[in-house]
Amino acid sequence: MIQRPSHINALEKALNRTPVASLLGPRQCGKTTLARIFEKKFNATFFDLESSQDLQRLQNPELSLGALEGLVIIDEIQEKPELFKTLRVLVDKPDRRTKFLILGSASPHIIKNASETLAGRTEFIELSGFNFIETDKSNIQDLWLRGGYPLSYLAGSTEKSISWREAFIRTFLERDIPQLGFKIPAAAMRRFWTMLAHYHGQTLNASEIGRSLGVTDKTIRTYLDILTGTFMMRQLQPWYENLSKRQVKAPKIYFRDSGLLHHLLTITDMHNLLGHPKLGASWEGFAMEQTIQILKPGEVYYWATYSGAELDLLFLKEGKKYGIEFKFNEAPKLTKSMRIACEDLKLKHLWIVYPGEHSYPVEKNISVLPLSHITDIA
């Protein structure tokens, strides 16, 4: 089993600080595996809300949970969102003897009233698929091709990995989305999701996608918000500066897992990937997600102007702005766009992240950095 010490440490700290720790992330990303570690370590009481037996145990949740002591773990909390009110009542009691670890496969804004009900009482921790620190730097290419979902990445063969991803997509569309209360035909959502694969790394044009699918802009945004709220897609928001230049204000859209992107693009192996038109966009999205997972920079943005200048990723640290460009190139070069971004945004430093092996400076505040050395930024 691949160890995930950074997430275990983050959960332990959260449970020390707050009465409720919320571990959120997509299905099948390893949340339950982490929770089982805590169950053994703290002799916790475990409830799986996809189990009819456990649902029966929680017919009167305030009475059942209120009688417990120590750590209580509730898996798939989105199956019973009314439990959030019960948890608020229990953690507000002065004689409280329990702490809660809750697991969910949807973000708080998808689980209605979740964040409002437990405001000030919970700390949210997001778990994604594997990153290359958890797997092996020498296997970055496999991680990129198959994605970070444990059962896809660890599959015994390419065929098994592909089969798992197809089953995951079908289950997600046919079961998970309806269970969250969205009445959208699975076939329609799959067509939309497949179309998004061809827009991966581009700014959102809801009108264009809507015309292709024969639906309204509003419907497209609703579909995209669902995929974003279930951790399938990332809508990277634009950064605005008070400049005379016209700046792009639409979000850029990315698949959060490269394996799912490749499956919907029918990319099966590295030979297919290296010859595919979306090669550069695939690398950009994969490297970006790895960077965000590993560095945890907080709020992240992109920046672009209508005159052609752009920056793939912008983040703030200690009040200063930093930028990252992702290039699938063995010898990335400094471009005019990079110089403009540094000058207009007054970046403290700009890194050009690429799939090579060597780090080196390009100019005073611009350097080339291998993805495998991304922790050097920290």
Name the residue ranges covered by the structural domains of the chain: 5-126, 137-377
Q: Model confidence over 72-104: pLDDT tens digits?
A: 999 998 888 889 999 999 999 988 899 999 999
pLDDT at 305 over 90: yes
Q: What is the pLDDT of residue 70?
A: 94
Residue 112 clears pLDDT 70, i.e. is over it: no
3 state SS of 83: helix
Average pLDDT of the chain, as a whole number: 93
CA gap 136, 206 in Å, rounded:
38
pLDDT band at 119 (very low <50, low <70, confident <90, very high): confident
Mean pLDDT of 357-376: 94
Model confidence pLDDT, tens digit, residues 128-169: 999 999 998 778 999 999 999 999 999 999 999 999 999 999
Listed in sequence order, the DSSP H helices in the chain are 5-17, 31-42, 52-57, 61-66, 83-91, 114-117, 140-146, 150-153, 158-171, 177-179, 186-199, 206-213, 217-229, 258-264, 270-274, 279-295, 336-345
* CA-closest candidate to residue 257, choices 154, 143, 176: 143
Average pLDDT over residues 356-365: 93
**pLDDT higher than threshold 90 for residue 285:** yes
Task: Report pLDDT for 107.
Answer: 83
Confidence of residue 254 (pLDDT cuts 50, 70, 90): very high
Quick one: which of 7, 166, 293, 255 has its CA closest to 155?
166
Helix (H) or strand (E) holding 361: strand 360-363
- Report the pLDDT averaged over residues 207-224: 94
pLDDT > 90? residue 245: no
Query: Does residue 243 register a pLDDT over 90?
Result: no
Q: Which of 89, 79, 101, 73 is nearest to 16 (CA)?
A: 101
Share above pLDDT 90 across residues of the chain, in percent, rounded to a whole number? 82
Say what the pTM is.
Answer: 0.94
With a pLDDT cut of 70, the percent of the chain lying above it is 98
| pLDDT score at 114 | 67
Rounded to a whole number of angstroms, the CA Rg of the chain reads 22
**What are 16-39's pLDDT values in tens digits?**
999 999 999 999 999 999 999 999
pLDDT beyond 90 at 258: yes
State yes or no: pLDDT of 269 exceeds 70: yes
Report phi then psi at 207, rounded to 5. Answer: -65, -45
Sheet holding 202-203, edge to edge: 202-203, 252-255, 233-236
Question: Is domain 5-126 classified as CATH 3.30.2400.10?
Answer: no
- Kindly state the average pLDDT of the residues 163-190: 94
* pLDDT-based confidence at residue 338 (cuts at 50, 70, 90): very high
What was the pLDDT predicted at 137?
78
Q: Which residue has the higher pLDDT, 256 or 111?
A: 256
Average pLDDT over residues 172-191: 92
